[in-house]
Amino acid sequence: MAHTRGNLFILSAPSGAGKSSLINALLKKHADMKVSVSHTTRSPRPGEEDGVHYHFVATDEFKALIEKNDFFEWAQVFDNYYGTSKQAIESQLNAGIDVFLDIDWQGAQQVRKIMPSVQTIFILPPSKKELEQRLNNRGQDSADVIASRMAKAQSETSHYNEYDFVIVNDDFESALADIEIIVMAQRLTLKAQKNRHQVLLNSLLK
């Protein structure tokens, strides 16, 4: 079987829709899927590790990376900078790994322009009430932060219309299966299969 370049996916969602848990579950199940580790200027939350959840950098360092043209995309989200380094994705895609970008709508808009083949997925919470509860249950942010995130959730959600796929995270397992179906379907497109099965196709058509 010929080697095929991995596919790139973007997952966006309002904070509290359960995106991180879905990505974690997906990676646990599939060794051939990876999430890109972004750079951010925000401080680590309890339990977050540098180089695992994010590359935590100072604002000066982030700006220097922008100057060096090291980012595939970057954006200011809430009060901090976030960005995907080119290095974080290219080598993985070339190794045939499917890569997920956990980024916001601003990043998604930039990536669509650079790589139109990207498949974009928007995750919705099942209701506003549930979203509010999920943001409260985290217990890691102050009431002010939660209120501001509810407002920003609405602004993030207003971009759902720009995405290829929309998933409602009501039942976790079925939302996970929905993502898997999208990834599997991409692996079966004509372009991917032509690449993968060159030898077979040649022999069948000789």
Q: Give the residue ranges of the annotated binding site for ATP.
A: 13-20
Residue closer to ligand 5GP, measured from CB, 7 or 40? 40
The two three-digit tokens of residue 66, written as one number: 């922008």
Residues 66-105 that bind ligand 5GP (CB under 6 A): 73, 75, 77, 82-84, 102-104
The two three-digit tokens of residue 174, written as one number: 């079925």
Does position 176 bind ligand 5GP by CB under 6 A? no
Q: Is the distance from CB of 79 to CB of 14 less than 8 angstroms?
A: no
- Least distance in Å: CB of 81 to ligand 5GP? 9
DSSP 163: S
Residue closer to ligand 5GP, measured from CB, 149 or 178? 149
- Kind plus residue range of the DSSP H or E element containing 135: helix 128-137
- Least distance in Å: CB of 171 to ligand 5GP? 22
Residues in the annotated binding site: 13-20
Report which of 181, 176, 187, 169 is spatially closest to residue 23, judged by C-alpha positions. Answer: 176
The two three-digit tokens of residue 167, written as one number: 């998933």
Number of residues that bind ligand 5GP (CB under 6 A): 14
Residue closer to ligand 5GP, measured from CB, 73 or 98? 73
Does position 18 bind ligand 5GP by CB under 6 A? no
Helix ranges (DSSP H) in the chain: 19-29, 59-67, 86-94, 105-114, 128-137, 143-157, 172-187, 190-196, 198-205
Would you say how long the chain is, in residues? Answer: 206
Residue closer to ligand 5GP, measured from CB, 7 or 15? 15
- When binding is defined by CB under 6 A, the residue of 6, 18, 107, 125 that contacts ligand 5GP is 107
- When binding is defined by CB under 6 A, the residue of 6, 33, 38, 124 that contacts ligand 5GP is 38
DSSP assignment string, 60-72? HHHHHHHHTT-EE
Distance (Å, rounded) from C-alpha 14 to C-alpha 126?
12
Residue closer to ligand 5GP, measured from CB, 150 or 192? 150
Binding site for ligand 5GP (CB under 6 A): 15, 38, 42, 73, 75, 77, 82-84, 102-104, 106-107
